[in-house]
Structure 1
Amino acid sequence: MSDTSAKKSAVAVGEMPAEAGDSMSLNGDYGAESQLRRTLGTRHLAMIGVGSSIGMGLWLGSGTSLLKAGPVSMFLGYILSGTIIWSVSHSIGEMCIMYPLPSAFVQWTNMFVDPAASFALGWAYWFSFWITIANELQAIVTVLSFWTTAVQAVVLITVFWVVIAAINIGAVKWFAEIEVVSATIKFGFIFVVIISGIVLSAGGGPKGGYPPVEGGKTGFEYWQTTPFINGFKGFLSIMPTCIFALSGSENAGLVASETKNPRRSVPKAVKSMWVRLALFYILGSFIIGINVSPKDSNLFGSSGTNASPFVIMYQNCGVEPLAHIMNAVIFISVLSNGGISAYCGARTLVGLSQIGMAPKQLQKADSWGRPWYGLIPTLLIGGGLAYLNVSNSGAVVFGWFSNLTALFSLFGWAMICLSHLRMRYAWKTQGREVSDLPWSSWAFPWSAYWGLGWSVVLIIVQFYISVWPLGKTPSAANFFSSYVSTVAIIVLYIGAKIYYRGRRWIDASTIDLDSARRFYPAADLEAEAEKKKNKGMIKKVVRTAFF
């Protein structure tokens, strides 16, 4: 066989060409090889995937959701949002194994959809990361106020801004280890929340069920008396908060570029997605809904202490030690998410620079793999925005920032699913088989269509809520404070489209499917095939023996 034929065969089965080593050979259109270091392993990717979206959106935002829409609406909101991000995770999984690039979905959009859409997505996502840093910093002020209000907000913001910076200026592997510890704490404590929440709901607390003001009732009292507040509009109004809570789940795609072997790491992260959704968001919101009254004045966003509903659950039932431990876990979660947002914001700028949509200097990283030119502006702007909390309440600032971030996230999720559909279309158009993929999603194409469709629908829904806000008079100020993200995306897209021009879609027949691709040794693929074969044989034996 000739050398050329051998190379073609290697590409066809996903085998690594001998001269390629373990790296990618990239061209100028999709991005050059970055200076980031591949030092992260499977557990780093899995735990960052578990922990990256578990922050103030869940721990505090569920309080505003309960207040506005009631326990059943909140529960349904998390279920719908969960199905969307589950679908998105399957698209991410398939693409980031093949194309583990620094800004992931930004570069995938550039490859498979349209450069103008990639430009709008990349810069919009960078905006969302520094908005999230600001939101997490202001959440720290709220969380710490549970213990003391003696320290001024400006001091707390400054101190923890420095801490978030310190987390990111160490070696990448140190950052990953910190996030692994944080994710382990979050993941471990959710079991305590679920078990203790069920016990408290059944009347097992020191006060024997709900607080005396609620008549000492147990069970699904709030699901019966206040299941839906403000009707269907109340449900629609909390969807941005539910989306914000789940935003960040897609960050596993950004981390994959610094992972040693995405082929092993990414499928595990994708397969564990349903566990995270079920434990944290669906069961977590359920536990809150059966233990905390939507009318509690201390809920985040109400008139009292602005505490997390998880903390209120323990306080009202007389389990004060768990209330303090829960608040400490929330503090760790919020601080951790601020660090992840700075990390991902810097990598987004690296990816934009690789595809010529940001200054070339942003690609540079030092010997430890730290992209200083992307990291410093992300930290500076994100931290600076947090000082809005000094003159406004935490709940008000949370509302502004969560609405803005939710719209950026929905746009990102839509582009991820659309890129997946376009990648598969190009794969088919160029005569390749699904079996040639190093890993394929069993849920394709319906998962991609589901994620894309609902993302578009919810962007439209948010327009409705921005024009006719819940409990407020329609005004230009309300509209822009809630919907300016979409305006920014449209402006970025139109400007980029004028600059880049070209057709509406990239021609699928001309897409280079190999130059930005990471190839894997044939031995890895053969081992995976053998593993699947053995699993199939075991299942067959079990079915034969017992059925």
Structure 2
Amino acid sequence: MSDQNSKRDIGESYSLDNMASDGTTTLKIGQSDASGASPYTINNTTSSRWRDFKDSFKRCEGAISLNDEEELNGLTDIEKANIITSKSPLQRKLKGRHLQMIAIGSSIGTGLFVGSGGALNTSGPLGVIIAWSLTGLSIFCTIQAMGELAVTFPISGSFNVFASRFIDPSVGFAVAWNYFFQFLVLLPLELVAGSMTMEYWHTGVNSDVWVLIFYILVATINFFGVRIYGEAEFAFSFVKVIAVVGFILVSLVLACGGGPTHRYLGATYWHDPGLFANGFKGVCSVFVTSAFSFGGTELVGLTAAESENPRKEIPRATKQVFWRIIMFYMISLTLICFLVASNNPKLLGASSVDVTASPFVIAIQEGGISGLPSVMNAVILISVISVGSSSVYATSRTLTALAEQGLAPRICGYIDRAGRPLVAILITNVFGLLSFIAASGKQAVVFDWLLSISGLSSIFTWLSICVAHLRFRRALGVQGRSTDELSFKSQTGVVGSWFGVVLNTLVLIAQFWIALFPLGEAPNASGFFQSYLGFVVLIIFYFGHKVWKGNWILFVRAVNIDVDVGRRELDIEALKEELLEEKRELAMKPFWYRWYRFWC
């Protein structure tokens, strides 16, 4: 059969179209109808999809960098940083539901589920309540301040850049690198905690096998971009929220004597062994533990640069933090204090990677409920994967922002066409390989020293956010501007930020005292540096930056602070009109709706 006959046999005609602009090749088969369209088409998109996948790893074009002499010529370092971080090519793919769930449950992990056990043993029930209450109140004020800044300036690096912009570049440099180290260390810590969680079920599998599985899962989530991270965090946080709510309900039943053992405990453990385990010093010693458990709450600020509509979504996510503090921390921990004695032998020697000392699991076990401890351990497992994934997100975005400002190797600022800070993600994942010491038996020693580098990092970060907010408000006043041009204002205002500054400063002083004179031990250099090495590192970075850049100012003067670059809404007058209209519309709504919008 000739080629011409073959052509007729399959429908009179066929044509191979030229390659389209998107790379697809279309094969049309059959007789054309009156409109000229063919009844059958075969689209060969495989090669196109593969090429798009490969091309997505290429550097994003059009992004401003420190090499753009024409764009940045004659500007100061602060002005360059403000412009570059405001024009970062990170993709805005996080929706409101992602941000709200990240705010509610992103950092609920071993700090709450496991670390609270050691704190209960050290400080007693009332000590736990005091430490977590004060820290929670400070966090609420801090996140309100961060929300105001992040909504006004949804830039790459968020609060790490705010410290440079509104306080001093040396402060921003030191705080950002400490924050980077905090989450860099947290990744292997959580992977090891995950492998230890699996030991609860006596699988007999080598710990490093589980580390490998969790490592691949965490790396994959972040490798596929911010949208997948958002969806994964939404699912993980949803499970954690449901678990904590379920635990609260079960705990209420157990506390009232409705469990299988029918034991009515009441306030028994508050009388024996007592309200405090080690007096005032015991309370002071657990503030860092409470800070560790709240660590990551500020993560919603980093998402501002990748959210679809930060003006609408960040305020709602910020307000969710209040409910998270009340329900998922204060209520659950209060119930724990009624169900688990502070001198319970299972709490002795509890550490951040010892999941067997979780007071949540102990409470259910001693309540006589079978099956639920396994469920709670499964939730802890999900939590460590979630926090591990958030660690990769936090470190990669922080390192990218540092590179964009010229404060880290330039290659670390590489963002590909899919909006992924690819090099920063790879660096974080390479450091995560440290988690494979899980089977060595030396993990506790290694992680104690790693955590000492960044153990105070959350407190430094929160302190810098509050100070940056105060400096921003000061700059507005000095420059004749008002808060009317802000689409979201901190509900706690400058008073809340001052409270955050004072409390975080007092915590640092208390921790210095504990580091010098540790609880139940003689003063020693090793114990001091394990408790306070983070402050030493911060000081080294601070003065190191001043020597490097020749920056000897104490703080940026309010009159010189830039309060415009990086704003999403450039027309301030139009924004004011829009805000007034929204207020008028809200005033016409029922009281219950206005009350809901205020708190949620």
Relative to the length of structure 2, the TM-score reads 0.81
Q: Structure 2: how far apart are the matches of 1:296 and 1:531?
A: 54
Partner of residue 14, structure 2: none
Partner of residue 29, structure 2: none
Question: Structure 1 pair 525/328, CA: closer, same or farther in 2 (3 Å)?
Answer: farther
Partner of residue 587, structure 2: 536
Amino acid at match of 1:286: T
Secondary structure, counterpart of 1:256 in structure 2: helix
Point out the more displaced range, 141-150 or 265-274.
Answer: 141-150
Partner of residue 274, structure 1: 322
Cα distance, 1:352 vs. partner?
A: 0.7
Answering whether residue 335 of structure 2 is matched by residue 254 of structure 1, we say no
Per-residue CA deviation, residues 418-451 of structure 1 (Å, 9 max, x unaligned), is: 1111111111111111111121113111110111
Q: Structure 2: how far apart are the matches of 1:399 and 1:231?
A: 25
Question: Structure 1 pair 386/451, CA: closer, same or farther in 2 (3 Å)?
Answer: farther
Per-residue CA deviation, residues 284-342 of structure 1 (Å, 9 max, x unaligned), is: 11011111122222237359983311111111111122211111111101110000011
Secondary structure, counterpart of 1:219 in structure 2: coil
Partner of residue 196, structure 1: 250
Partner of residue 35, structure 2: none
Partner of residue 39, structure 1: 93
Point out the more displaced range, 61-70 or 382-391.
Answer: 382-391
Per-residue CA deviation, residues 28-63 of structure 1 (Å, 9 max, x unaligned), is: 232412221111111111111112221100000011
Amino acid at match of 2:518: P
**Which of 446, 470, 495 is the aligned partner of 1:446?**
495
Answering whether residue 270 of structure 2 is matched by residue 220 of structure 1, we say no
Amino acid at match of 1:301: G
Aligned residues: percent identity?
35
Asked whether the equivalents of residues 131 and 385 of structure 1 are also in contact (C-alpha less than 8 Å), the reply is no
Question: Structure 1 pair 305/132, CA: closer, same or farther in 2 (3 Å)?
Answer: closer
Asked whether the equivalents of residues 192 and 435 of structure 2 are also in contact (C-alpha less than 8 Å), the reply is no
Question: Structure 1 pair 454/370, CA: closer, same or farther in 2 (3 Å)?
Answer: same
Q: Structure 2: how far apart are the matches of 1:291 and 1:399?
A: 29
Cα distance, 1:266 vs. partner?
A: 0.8
Answering whether residue 524 of structure 2 is matched by residue 470 of structure 1, we say no
**Unmatched 5+ residue regions in structure 1?**
1-22, 210-216
Per-residue CA deviation, residues 117-144 of structure 1 (Å, 9 max, x unaligned), is: 1111111111111111122122213322
Q: Structure 2: how far apart are the matches of 1:497 and 1:29?
A: 17
Per-residue CA deviation, residues 453-495 of structure 1 (Å, 9 max, x unaligned), is: 1111111211111111112221111111121111100000011
Point out the more displaced range, 416-425 or 47-56.
Answer: 47-56
Q: Structure 2: how far apart are the matches of 1:354 and 1:185?
A: 36
Question: Structure 1 pair 408/67, CA: closer, same or farther in 2 (3 Å)?
Answer: same
Amino acid at match of 1:499: W
Question: Structure 1 pair 371/536, CA: closer, same or farther in 2 (3 Å)?
Answer: same
Asked whether the equivalents of residues 126 and 348 of structure 1 are also in contact (C-alpha less than 8 Å), the reply is yes
Answering whether residue 469 of structure 2 is matched by residue 420 of structure 1, we say yes
Partner of residue 564, structure 2: 514
Question: Structure 1 pair 429/302, CA: closer, same or farther in 2 (3 Å)?
Answer: closer
Point out the more displaced range, 130-139 or 291-300.
Answer: 291-300
Cα distance, 1:540 vs. partner?
A: 7.2
Amino acid at match of 2:434: G
Asked whether the equivalents of residues 101 and 351 of structure 1 are also in contact (C-alpha less than 8 Å), the reply is no
Amino acid at match of 1:228: F
Partner of residue 81, structure 2: 29
Answering whether residue 555 of structure 2 is matched by residue 505 of structure 1, we say yes
Secondary structure, counterpart of 2:357 in structure 1: coil
Point out the more displaced range, 363-372 or 403-412.
Answer: 403-412
Matches within 5 A, 1:209-248: 209=263, 217-226=264-273, 227-248=275-296
Partner of residue 326, structure 1: 376
Partner of residue 17, structure 1: none
Answering whether residue 169 of structure 2 is matched by residue 115 of structure 1, we say yes
Per-residue CA deviation, residues 524-543 of structure 1 (Å, 9 max, x unaligned), is: 76555444334434467999
Asked whether the equivalents of residues 240 and 403 of structure 1 are also in contact (C-alpha less than 8 Å), the reply is no
Point out the more displaced range, 261-270 or 224-233.
Answer: 224-233
Point out the more displaced range, 110-119 or 29-38.
Answer: 29-38
Amino acid at match of 1:223: W
Answering whether residue 222 of structure 2 is matched by residue 168 of structure 1, we say yes
Q: Structure 2: how far apart are the matches of 1:332 and 1:188?
A: 12
Cα distance, 1:360 vs. partner?
A: 2.2
Answering whether residue 347 of structure 2 is matched by residue 283 of structure 1, we say no
Q: Structure 1: how far apart are the matches of 2:113 and 2:559?
A: 47
Question: Structure 1 pair 300/245, CA: closer, same or farther in 2 (3 Å)?
Answer: farther
Point out the more displaced range, 358-367 or 444-453.
Answer: 358-367
Point out the more displaced range, 142-151 or 364-373.
Answer: 142-151
Point out the more displaced range, 484-493 or 494-503.
Answer: 494-503
Question: Structure 1 pair 305/267, CA: closer, same or farther in 2 (3 Å)?
Answer: closer
Point out the more displaced range, 125-134 or 496-505.
Answer: 496-505
Cα distance, 1:390 vs. partner?
A: 3.2
Partner of residue 16, structure 1: none
Answering whether residue 113 of structure 2 is matched by residue 59 of structure 1, we say yes
Q: Structure 1: how far apart are the matches of 2:144 and 2:277?
A: 34
Rg comparison, structure with higher value: 2
Asked whether the equivalents of residues 125 and 412 of structure 1 are also in contact (C-alpha less than 8 Å), the reply is yes
Partner of residue 138, structure 2: 84
Q: Structure 1: how far apart are the matches of 2:545 and 2:431?
A: 23
Structure with the bigger RCO (C-alpha within 8 Å, sep 6+) is 1
Cα distance, 1:191 vs. partner?
A: 1.4
Partner of residue 483, structure 2: 434
Answering whether residue 397 of structure 2 is matched by residue 351 of structure 1, we say no
Q: Structure 1: how far apart are the matches of 2:584 and 2:284?
A: 46
Partner of residue 310, structure 1: 360
Per-residue CA deviation, residues 82-139 of structure 1 (Å, 9 max, x unaligned), is: 0111011011100001111221111111111111111111111111111111221222
Point out the more displaced range, 141-150 or 321-330.
Answer: 141-150
Q: Structure 2: how far apart are the matches of 1:356 and 1:284?
A: 44
Aligned residues: 512
Q: Structure 1: how far apart are the matches of 2:271 and 2:439?
A: 36
Q: Structure 2: how far apart are the matches of 1:373 and 1:68?
A: 41
Point out the more displaced range, 227-236 or 149-158.
Answer: 149-158
**Unmatched 5+ residue regions in structure 2?**
1-63, 65-70, 73-78, 595-600
Answering whether residue 541 of structure 2 is matched by residue 489 of structure 1, we say no
Asked whether the equivalents of residues 207 and 438 of structure 2 are also in contact (C-alpha less than 8 Å), the reply is no
Amino acid at match of 1:362: C
Cα distance, 1:400 vs. partner?
A: 5.4
Amino acid at match of 2:317: A
Asked whether the equivalents of residues 236 and 461 of structure 1 are also in contact (C-alpha less than 8 Å), the reply is yes
Asked whether the equivalents of residues 247 and 406 of structure 1 are also in contact (C-alpha less than 8 Å), the reply is no
Question: Structure 1 pair 379/363, CA: closer, same or farther in 2 (3 Å)?
Answer: same
Q: Structure 2: how far apart are the matches of 1:487 and 1:287?
A: 37
Q: Structure 1: how far apart are the matches of 2:420 and 2:540?
A: 31
